[in-house]
Amino acid sequence: MILWYAAGAVFIVWNIFQSSGVDYRAVAVGALLPLALDLPFGRQAYGHTLLAAVVALTVVMLATIGRGQRLVRRRLLGVPIGWFCGLLLSAAWATQGVFWWPVFGVDLPHVDLLPRWGVVVVLEGLGVAAAAWIVVRFGLGDARRRAAFVRTGRLEVAG
């Protein structure tokens, strides 16, 4: 499910914002955080709550207050943006007790961390397709462009 979340989030964020100023590495990491944080629980838990994503956004905004912090803020904002994408891609929003925790009670319902294997295969296949689109669209087959992406996190449409 790594490509479903990481490449899916990059695909979504690029197609919404179409900004070369976003650090897409941070977006990919942020999209994986709900899954990584809830892995020890073996189910969708605190990482899949809207509260967790909002707290991450708040921390980034508060930690980057002041002059000289704009570049740091721009880079770090990718993490909560990716986190919101991770919530979307995991369908956490479909379970009220998880997504809106603790609004409707402090007990988290049991929701599987991953869907059934057949669905996982289909979703990861879509993640492979999104990754392929990213490689072609941004020319990441070229070693120079790929190195620039790894160094900066920025994506620019290949001419």
Extract the tokens encoding 29: 């990491």
Strand segments, DSSP code E, in the chain are none
Tell me which of 19-23, 91-95, 100-104 is least confident: 19-23
What are the backbone angles phi and psi of residue 105, rounded to the nearest 5°? 125, 155
pTM over 0.85: yes
Residues 30 and 77 sit within 8 Å (Cβ to Cβ): no
**% pLDDT > 70, the chain:** 100
Distance CA 33, CA 79 (A): 9
Kindly report, residue by residue over 64-97, the tens digit of the pLDDT: 998 888 889 999 999 999 999 999 999 999 999 9
Does position 7 have pLDDT exceeding 80, yes or no? yes
Does position 159 have pLDDT exceeding 80, yes or no? no
